Chain A
């Protein structure tokens, strides 16, 4: 199979001076071992190579993606023909000029060589950590090599690895979750992750109902990660702002002063590479500083419209959806998980959210459910597990000034409902969360 950098160069050369052109070539391997009912039932692997070419002919823009990389000239002719047929794009931002990108150094050779048997052994350790329970989840490894080239002379290449172990332990009426993502497979400890899930599952056996209402909460990092993906996609995404759908007002104190959020692909704890799909280098970007909305995330298109600079957050399909930060960090606090609970008179500890969907992007009202361990806390102690609850809650209001009562020191690369490896988040203690339904509706 052709090497991504050579392929990217060959494609740009094939376009020649007939158009402005940019190409992103992503190659690599991904493998995923899936288990359920405490045994491995699906084990998949893929070798991939995909070229994504965009051209602009006198401001007429078209894009083609293909795995048929043995047919470069057909690919190029196809996209040039398509471009000539479409109207001029007044928002076409042009190509990035040659600019270096940071080496994020999120590549681990050992992870790139992980075999199915190694993933299977890790999964076995997870399953064995919950004796008498039913384990389910997955372990995956991913190695990618990405090359970017454009006809303005920008040339970038990077490689990265990622490994994830994610699973639940189940009893007949409860479940608990464990998760770890890293750029290094060796960081994954199957027994420890499985034990964490087993403790949650054991603690939430025989849950009881709780009347819906507004309760103080402590949210585990998985919940916080999901909140951040909503804030980022529907709020800090400059396209949403242009379209009038975002809550974000740069310079306004929209969040509690204890909240800091930034995006940083170069942080050693992150995964991924140091440039986006338009070849723009990534850099550390503050989104919320001491509760104040600090900036938006841009691709080159939204940057042009708002007379700003791209922040390096273009994503595949971003022409329609806008930009998205993929290496978010939420500033940690000082409190241990126990200390967050200890200061709560009555409230709930929530392990994970499930099936969150936005009702209105501008107000950030979201409905969803709790999952994999929800607990009633009284006088600082967990007193009993409760059945999953439905909530209808504005995520912006939940983090508004005065609403954040504590931040944990337990930050980790948490699972979000919309992807792994995207958000580094600690636990949060919040003044109020609006639960609108229980197990019986």
Chain B
């Protein structure tokens, strides 16, 4: 049914004057459980199904979505998409054209072992209840929280150029966190990372976290933080745990290299970018140790798929090579506008949203050291782990991050625990100070399930391979 409805919508859009059209019929469902102090506060399941049609006329995309899955509604959506695009001519720019991509008939499915929706709700709820119980057992813990979520998405994509692609994407993830409340402030520790770790794959992803084993030690750290000394204000060497490196990449590289931002298409909301296309291929983004790729083919990473929502195949693209900026994230329209190849990086968060430039798995390639070797090589510094807050300006230059926990490093040894650690910097300066990288054995594919972008707002799932890393001369303890 999916291909037929999508085909009907595309044909209707073309008949209504679109120069190009594509349509996605999407069936998606998710399951979400939230537990707090052994009380399962939320058990929700969501099913969305519908068709979204994209029509190009002149300089504008028109888009129409409907949850009605029948031929009449599909054709109506196609006609409306073209009508909406045509109305944009009242304030038109130069016509958009699309970069060529292979026209394929294909199917892709996320490799997974255990369908997360086949695992009983009882088992999933018990996991969270027991995890929070173990955290509550630790004296001083105010709140033990746990959450897990599973996503199953089936897409049928048809374009007026002949694409017919079906995909079945499966994702899963979870988080536990312990909260403690002290004199006038709160402390928090979370695992596997704050806001949850998500990957493509089945329920084996969640089993692999071993939440129960992590719960007790995590809670003990949250209690210890209440009496730990405050992170001092200083300029010092900073070592970041890999999930924080992942978020640093997401904010200060991933968004900055989005071509729609660079071209000003997101200026009013998400912002623009400090990057100037004239400097592509020559601008120094960071130190020679910095190698960043956008790779949608990594098994298990959250930003992996077979084809993007324009029908472009998943691929690996170099973004930063030995510290030099060499690549962007672009779509068929934006890449063509500046003479680059599209990288398969355009996705929507549902049938009812217009596909837009999205990070795939934008990550750092590993080095050769271990975290312990990096610490041992540090005379004076601070090691920070697990994100607590993040903020960056609208050009992706000036950032400030807070972490949940830190340790003072003195003469190559991890010393006192520190609370309320923060650091700040300017993107190229910060990445220019990168001088140590963890190795392949510590290379983790972190997933960000909550990346907001676009109007209407869309929530993207992006992946960020990362390793622990050291940065020299960073301002910490911002107050």
Contacts and interface: CB of A to CB of B under 8 A. Distances in A.
Q: Which secondary structure characterizes the binding site on chain A? A: strand
B62 to A, nearest CB: 5
A387 to B, nearest CB: 9
Interface string B173-185: 0000001010011
Interface string A2-38: 0000000000000000000000000000111111111
B59 A41 contact: yes
Contacts of B214: none
B41 A320 contact: yes
Given A43-B85, A168-B267, A363 B179 contact: no
B267 A136 contact: yes
A47 B142 contact: no
A299 B158 CA distance: 44
B106 interface: no
Contacts of A50: 67
Nearest to B94: A39
Contact of A64 (B47, B353, B388, B475): B47
B122 to A, nearest CB: 5
A244 B179 CA distance: 9
A367 B455 CA distance: 24
B391 A357 contact: yes
Interface residues of A, number: 91
A1 B68 contact: yes
B67 A49 contact: yes
Interface in A84-110: 85-87, 89-91
Interface stretch (B364-372, B417-425, B435-443): B417-425
Contacts of B390: 357
Interface stretch (A118-126, A144-152, A216-224, A279-287): A118-126
A86 B429 contact: no
Given A62-B43, A66-B48, A67-B49, A39 B92 contact: yes
Nearest to B77: A47
Contact of B90 (A1, A40, A301): A40
B40 interface: yes
Contacts of B16: none
A214 to B, nearest CB: 11
Interface in A311-326: 317, 319-320
A390 B88 contact: no
A304 to B, nearest CB: 12
B91 A120 contact: yes
A45 interface: yes
Interface string A162-177: 0000111010000100
A227 to B, nearest CB: 15
B84 A116 contact: yes
A157 interface: no
A336 interface: no
A231 B389 CA distance: 17
B15 interface: no
Contacts of B400: 367, 390, 392, 436-437
B113 interface: no
Interface in B19-42: 34, 36, 39-42
A198 to B, nearest CB: 14
Contacts of B184: 362-363
A389 to B, nearest CB: 9
Contacts of A119: 87
A87 B129 contact: yes
Contacts of A64: 44-47
B224 interface: no
Interface in B465-479: 475, 478-479
B398 A124 contact: no
B333 to A, nearest CB: 9
B91 A127 contact: yes
Contacts of A136: 264, 267-268
B354 A42 contact: yes
B125 A359 contact: no
Interface in A50-77: 50, 61-69
A46 interface: yes
B266 interface: yes
Contact of A82 (B43, B80, B91): B43
B47 A68 contact: yes
A68 B84 CA distance: 26
A49 B185 CA distance: 42
A359 B46 contact: no
Contacts of B142: 243-244
B143 A244 contact: yes
B456 A44 contact: yes
A166 B268 CA distance: 8
Contacts of A429: none
A137 B268 contact: yes
B174 to A, nearest CB: 14
B108 interface: no
A359 B121 contact: no
A120 B90 contact: yes
Interface in A351-405: 354-363, 367-369, 371, 388, 390, 392
B64 interface: yes
A47 B298 CA distance: 36
A131 interface: no
A132 B114 CA distance: 58
A125 B142 CA distance: 54
Contact of A90 (B39, B87, B264): B39
Contacts of B424: 390, 436-437, 441
Interface string B379-408: 000000000111111100110101000000
A175 B91 CA distance: 21
B87 A362 contact: no
A90 B388 CA distance: 31
Nearest to A368: B391
A31 B62 CA distance: 11
Given A87-B125, A356-B391, A390-B393, 18 more contacts: A42-B60, A44-B84, A46-B65, A47-B65, A49-B67, A65-B45, A85-B125, A140-B455, A245-B179, A319-B42, A354-B394, A359-B402, A367-B422, A369-B398, A392-B479, A436-B424, A441-B398, A441-B475
27 contacts: A31-B84, A37-B264, A39-B59, A39-B92, A39-B93, A41-B93, A42-B60, A45-B63, A45-B84, A46-B64, A65-B45, A66-B46, A78-B45, A82-B121, A85-B122, A116-B87, A136-B267, A138-B269, A243-B36, A244-B143, A245-B179, A317-B42, A320-B41, A357-B402, A361-B186, A362-B186, A436-B479
Q: Return the 5 tightest CB-CB contacts between A and B, nearest first.
A: A39-B93, A116-B87, A120-B90, A40-B88, A319-B42
